[in-house]
Amino acid sequence: MSKEHWDKSFSDKDFVYGEKENQFIHDMSEIIPAHSKVGCFAEGEGRNAVYLAKLGHDVIAYDQSLIGLEKTKTLATKNKVVVETVAMDLTKEKVQDNQFDTSIMVFGHVPKKDQKFLIKNLVDSVKPGGYVIFEVYSEDQIKYQTGGPQSLDMLYNPIEVLEWIKNYHCIHFYYGEVTRNEGKRHVGLGHVIQVVIKK
């Protein structure tokens, strides 16, 4: 989806996905070593970045929406933490390789032709021995109508995801149902793919 789409999506005064971190990121955050450098990809309004900064990590949030990143700064200030923000299109521009101890992404939905590049970008940004943590909606989410894109082209296929991560040590892989109540855009039971790998 375009920068214009996300600028419009995030233009509501409230936080459209809420201010609380994603449950999967919350559950997996304990594996991130203390005082890590963390990259948050397709971070939107900053809820996960701010949560990780509150845990004491050095956090950079990436998104193509300047409005989303401004809301990230607002949320960081409200929570008395600092989050660096970088505006870039993660489907076309490469984040610097081997700079983070951990990188995360939550519901970074892009067209299928761009998904492999995005996931590679996410993985490449992490130092050897570091962690990659992400949760995305699967193609089955289209049946649930509880959030996420309304197009199969913007959803993820578990076989493709497994192919993209096969060269790394997989700590966690889940393909199935979860309940997500995140602001007004993710409401109720949905179908996701979850990944944790060690590079």
Confidence of residue 189 (pLDDT cuts 50, 70, 90): very high
What integer pLDDT is reported at residue 3 of this predicted model? 61
Per-residue pLDDT averaged across 7-23, rounded?
A: 75
Q: What DSSP line would sit under the chain, residue for residue?
A: --HHHHHHHTTSSS-TT-SSPPHHHHHHGGGSPTT-EEEEET-TT-HHHHHHHHTT-EEEEEES-HHHHHHHHHHHHHTT---EEEE--TTTSPPPTT-EEEEEEES----HHHHHHHHHHHHHTEEEEEEEEEEEEBGGGGGT-SSS-SSGGGSB-HHHHHHHHTTSEEEEEEEEEEEEEETTTEEEEEEEEEEEEE-
What integer pLDDT is reported at residue 4 of this predicted model? 66
Number of domains in the chain: 1
Asked whether the predicted pLDDT for residue 15 surpasses 80, the reply is: no
User: Cα angle vertex 89, ends 87, 91, to 5°?
Assistant: 155
Domain span at 155: 3-198
Confidence of residue 22 (pLDDT cuts 50, 70, 90): very high
- CATH number for the domain harbouring residue 144: 3.40.50.150
- The pLDDT tens digits of the residues spanning 36-68 come to 999 999 999 999 999 999 999 999 999 999 999
- The pLDDT tens digits of the residues spanning 91-137 come to 999 999 999 999 999 999 999 999 999 999 999 999 999 999 999 99
Asked whether the predicted pLDDT for residue 185 surpasses 90, the reply is: no
